[in-house]
Amino acid sequence: MAIEVKCRAKVNLFLRVLGRRQDGYHEVETIYHSIELHDILRLKVQKSDITLVCDHPLVPTDETNLASKAARRMLEGYRYGVRMMLEKRIPIAAGLGGGSADAAGALVGINKLYRMGLSLQDLEEHASALGADVKFMVRGGCAVGRGRGEDLDFLEPLNGIPVLLVVPDLAVSTKWAYASLKMGLTRPKANLTMLADTLRGGKIGQLKDLLYNDFESVVFERYPIVAQIRHKLLESGACASLMSGSGPVVFGVFLEEGDARRASKELASHGNRVIETAFATKGVTA
């Protein structure tokens, strides 16, 4: 028996780091939103062991991979194993949560493959132990995240709204990004509640001045190309644009599909890697 799972990426519409917690994690306020861009995870029952193969050379396939950790957690006490084949479409180390999406896909997929009958709440409990983003990825859609990001308050998602991703040819270390934040300094005012209310009302055209990411200041300073990409997206017709997570991917939100397509061609003509996608209502589907 084998099944196929879609593991969708996310963008952060809002991301503020409030400080470091006693457990070593950071306290954050964020708004996650799923996008249609996804990895494909194919799972097959095998007699023993957990194996993972991937078509991307930079993705680890040993026990350090988050999807492998998820599989080990789910199959603890089982005498059978699982073979997982990962087709990587989400850019890695890009602020889009690809590793977390794959882990969520492993949880959902193994639950279905072995007919375990675990509830959504059970899967989210497993996900929380793997990482804050993983819990959101299981259900997906749109949610306010607090604490480590795993205290979730779900909102009505923006279904099908066009989104462009521009992927710079560079990698940003999440560890470096957190270490570089100047926590004691006065930072720009940003209102999570106002953004959440705007999303609840579906007022896409009002997003421009409400999207916010603490990491933009440090990433833009070190990698000016990322700031230039955000400016280019707005110049090309995006109604709102922001860097996602700790970067370096920048996304643009568009009111019309035609506008997004024209902007995509224009940005690609200047040598940018552009991915056309849209906001999604689900995280993982199997």
Distance between CA atoms of residues 241 and 274, nearest Å: 14
**Cis before 248 (ω within 30):** yes
Catalytic one of 39, 88, 102, 133:
133
Nearest to 219 by CA among 178, 187, 189: 178
In the numeric block, the tokens 């933009």 are attached to 216
Q: In a 3-state reduction of DSSP, which class is residue 137?
A: helix
Question: What is the C-alpha separation between 145 and 32, in angstroms, rounded?
Answer: 7
Query: What's the rounded Cα separation, in Å, for the pair 116 and 141?
Result: 24
10: annotated active-site residue: yes
Pick the catalytic residue from 10, 69, 88, 232: 10
Largest CA distance in the chain: 57
DSSP character at residue 128: H
Query: Mind telling me the catalytic residues?
Result: 10, 133
